[in-house]
Amino acid sequence: MGQIAEIIKYEGDNNTFIWKHPCEDFNSLTQLIVHESQEAVFFMNGQALDLFGAGRYTLETQNIPKLGKLLNRATGDQTPFHCEVYFINKTVQMALKWGTDSKVRYIDPESGLPLELGASGEMNLCVSDSRKLLIKLVGTMNGIAWGDERNGFTKSLQNSFRPLISAAVKSNLASSIKSLNINILEIDEHLTELGDILHKKVLPGFEEYGLTIPQFFLTNVVLPEDDPNFKRVRELYTISLQKRMISAEAEVNTAKAQAAAQVAAAAREAVLERQQTQTEIARREAERKVITAQAEAEAQKAAGFAQAEIMRQQGYNQKDVIQAEVQKAYAAGIGNMGGNGGSGGSTMSDILGLGIGLQAASAMSGQVGNIFGGMFGGTGTQPQQPTPPTPPQPTLPTQPLPSQPQQSENAPAPVVQPESAPSAAPQPVDEMTAFKTKLGKLTAMKEAGIINDEEFNSYKAKLLTELGIM
């Protein structure tokens, strides 16, 4: 008969997954204590009857429903059957190491060279189904842990699941690297992605035994650094990297050139737009000036029409006004010449007095003849044919007279001809003075452009004819 125990509990280390209490065949009044994160399974006659969670229990008939009437109080409250209690640790076992027992063959897709890879890592493990783990894996052992055999355990979980982990990793590591299109030299950057894939492949084998893997980590992929094939792969990778760098630099330079071209095009477009704006402004300014000029012309035209209408209503036109102004200027000029001719006044003063009207009379050729007709005492009509030019005649010297009439203060002094000039018939002093005055006026008019040489010679010949020289 086994030892009668009063209290059954487990306070051992946390690395053990399942532990069998050494006391067996205890009485019905034994106290069972189950801690948090633990479960206890009651066995009787090799059959798992009940599962106890955290708490304190008295092993009586009412607390063990499946036991029923098997307990025999007639034997001193001791059961004649074989009883056992197993404690299951429900805590998560952290950082349990794993690794492949041999290399994984991997064919590099770029070079086609074979490589030998190794893999290792850690995982977290906990019990998900206590009854399943106890029945399928522990059996009649005293318990089971992850590491080496201890406390009388005949095997460990690590040794039990190592083939499962190794087979899952070997079967899926190489294919996962290729499916993710990972360069073998950049594999450390993708350990998390590979670990997630391997986790899904390993987990079903553990769940079959009532275990689960909350986290699975691939911490290292061992590369064959001394393998010639791996060195060749590294060289090819370096060459490919250099090509990518050159290509990237070319793309950067192209992008810079395109950006510079776009900036230059934008600058040219801005200049053209500015020039077009300036041209448009100038065009509009020119149009504005044209419109203004047209408006002013229309205003002047309207004013002219209004003035012409007024003049028409008054019985005269602009031609009558011009003729009146010319005749007025002519009369003023003749008056000045008449007043100064007999008194010996300044020749230029007479010309100025006469020239004002002659500037306006240049457009009216009919009036010029009348002016000079009146000047020489003729009929007032212009000669039909101009007199051909006559050769210059020598000027007759004026002989001094015994006495001369008293001259006014404004009369010019008589001109004394040189003694060497040829003598001619004596002329009256008043006629000669008038001749010289008129001749000087004609000369001034020719120099001023009022008359031409032909007209000058014609009028000069008339003067000489009047003096009786020609």
Mean model confidence pLDDT for the chain: 76
Residue 256: CB atoms within 10 Å: 10
Span 339-382, pLDDT tens digits = 444 444 444 444 444 444 444 444 444 444 444 444 444 444 44
Position 462 pLDDT exceeds 90: no
Query: Residues 198-206: what's their mean pLDDT?
Result: 95
Token look-up 């230029």 returns: 348
Residue 327, C-beta contacts closer than 8 angstroms, at least 6 positions apart: 367
Burial category of 414 from C-beta neighbours within 10 Å (exposed 0-12, middle 13-18, buried 19 and up): middle
pLDDT at 338 over 60: no
Q: What is the CA radius of gyration of the chain?
A: 72
Give the pLDDT of residue 331: 64
C-alpha distances out from residue 183 to 124, 237, 239, Å: 29, 9, 14
In the prediction, which pLDDT does 63 show? 53
Question: Which residue type sits at 136?
Answer: K
Q: Is residue 216's pLDDT more than 50?
A: yes
How long a stretch of residues is the chain?
470
> Residues 59-114: pLDDT tens digits?
765 555 545 444 444 344 455 567 888 999 999 999 899 999 899 999 998 889 99
Model pLDDT for residues 11-30, shown as the tens digit of each residue: 777 788 888 888 877 766 77
pLDDT average, residue stretch 196-224:
94
Residue 45 has pLDDT above 90, yes or no: no
Residue entry with tokens 């209004």: 306
Confidence of residue 414 (pLDDT cuts 50, 70, 90): very low
Instruction: Enumerate the H helices of 342-428 as residue ranges.
Output: 347-361, 365-375
Tell me what pLDDT residue 405 has.
42
Would you state the pLDDT for residue 368?
A: 45
Is the pLDDT at 232 greater than 50? The verdict is: yes
Identify the band that residue 254 occupies on the pLDDT scale cut at 50, 70 and 90.
Answer: very high
Contact 183, 108 (CB under 8 A): no
For residue range 1-12, list pLDDT tens digits in order: 444 447 888 877
- Summarised one tens digit per residue, pLDDT across range 130-183 is 999 988 888 778 788 887 666 667 678 888 899 999 999 999 999 999 999 998
pLDDT reading at 50 higher than 60: yes
Amino acid 237: pLDDT: 86
pLDDT at 188: 92
* Predicted pLDDT of residue 190: 95
Pairing of the two strands 93-99 and 114-127: antiparallel
Q: How high is the pLDDT of residue 397?
A: 44
DSSP-derived pairing of the beta strands 104-107 and 7-8:
unpaired
Angle made by CA atoms 271, 273, 274, in degrees to the nearest 5 = 65
Q: Give the mean model confidence (pLDDT) for residues 274-294.
A: 90
The confidence score (pLDDT) of residue 369 equals 47
pLDDT of amino acid 385 = 45
Tokens read off for 392: 């210059």
Taking only the tens place, the pLDDT of each residue in 425-440 is 454 557 778 888 888 8
Structure tokens at 312: 């028409």
Confidence of residue 215 (pLDDT cuts 50, 70, 90): very high
Q: How far apart are CA 337 and CA 352, in angstroms?
A: 10
